[in-house]
Amino acid sequence: MSGQSNMSLRLVFENAKNLVNQLGYDTSSAVITQSYLRSEFLLATTTANYNVPITINDTRNGAPTVRENRLNLQDLFVVSSIQIFTTVGASTASNTGMFTYNDARTFTTTTSATDLLSLYNGKMSLVANNQQILPAYDILKHYFSPNQQLGILPFTGATVLPVNQLQASDDVSACIEPNIVLNGAANYQCQISLPVAPAAVTANTYVCVKWNGLLLQNCTSVK
């Protein structure tokens, strides 16, 4: 699947601007650009419910990883699509790969690979200033087991093992309609809930929520 066309991106832009205006924000002087937010949290064997940090002042998970990209307090973000990946590496590592399924060669034991499926049977919810915006978002739609997988030879005699097939612009991407407007000045409780806590987790396994859309700078009450 190819990326969005110029026409569809223009429609996203116009819809975002109209939606923000309807919510009472002035976009006449706003700088509106394509952008993304990236939220991460560490999986643990003792936890089934996880905080998904959105704004730069959310410290509930401790310090952000170097891979995150949070929302500034003075900005708005209109979410047009969401991707959910997993990644393995320390919070200070910038060279981690993105995974779309429970790859047994990455999630290094049979138990941890199997237990990762609990994530995809979970759901995400979003509350802003005590108002429920997203009651139960299905994470299973972000599971993708690719045809080409890490370490599986596509033909006899290959000398280089392939990596996991991934088209980062499209794979495990789900459109959000109606769009969600994230306000950097709001108080968010975004949570991913698994049916049960995983019994085994590969060390430094993070879940990554990538919010794709349009950033509107300097639009909130925070200056």
pLDDT, averaged per 10 consecutive residues of the chain (223 residues), comes to 56 71 71 92 96 96 97 93 95 93 82 91 95 94 79 57 71 84 92 95 95 89 71
Q: Look up residue 152 and give its two tokens.
A: 């599986």
Q: What is the pLDDT of residue 1?
A: 37
Q: What is the pLDDT of residue 160?
A: 61
Cα separation, 11 vs 189, whole angstroms: 29
Cα separation, 112 vs 109, whole angstroms: 5
Cα separation, 162 vs 68, whole angstroms: 27
Q: Are 38 and 210 in contact (CB under 8 A)?
A: yes
pTM of structure: 0.84
Cα separation, 49 vs 61, whole angstroms: 12
E strands, 65-130, in order: 76-88, 123-128
**Helices and strands (DSSP H and E) totals, the chain:** 3, 8
Q: What is the pLDDT of residue 67?
A: 98
Q: Which residues contact 74 (CB under 8 A, 6 or more apart)?
A: 184, 185, 217, 218, 219, 220, 222, 223
Q: What is the pLDDT of residue 159?
A: 60
